[in-house]
Structure 1
Amino acid sequence: MWTDEDLVRLHGHLLEKSLRDLFDARVSAATRRDILAWLRAPQEWPGAFSYRRCCALFGLDSDDIRERVLARHRHCFPD
């Protein structure tokens, strides 16, 4: 059985790994596209493991982080 602490830890791992993988050149372009879609999902998307939910559990401003991450991604991986 999953404890609340386990679930919070899992959310944190998902957020950290996703953001790390987004900038890892060894990660496939398809995986990076999936991560970008996860970051850009509409606020109304109710997923238990949504980007916004992961940020909220740690008191992070999801909009601010998303904008910074996307700006860095555009700089690191220009079209």
Structure 2
Amino acid sequence: MSLLTGAPRSATVRSREETLVFEIGRQAYLPLVQAHPEWVDELAAVMEARLRRRSVRMAELQAVGTDLRTRIRRTLLG
């Protein structure tokens, strides 16, 4: 995502076997995307899926937090 935001990279790469990994900076990536516009759709789909998973997880955590507060109140107030 740092390609889009300019934020520092935070990704970690792990592989099960010997792997060659390339780091592509924004200046090198932009011409590639212009040559392959379908990549934009694929990137958008990945970003959408990540955002959806994050939203679901946040809702789950909020529900747990609300439930915990309710249980604490019941315990303290009787």
**With structure 2 as the length reference, what TM-score do the two structures score?**
0.30
Higher RCO (CA < 8 A, seq sep 6+) = 1
**With structure 1 as the length reference, what TM-score do the two structures score?**
0.29
Q: For the pair shown, which has the larger CA radius of gyration, 1 or 2?
A: 2
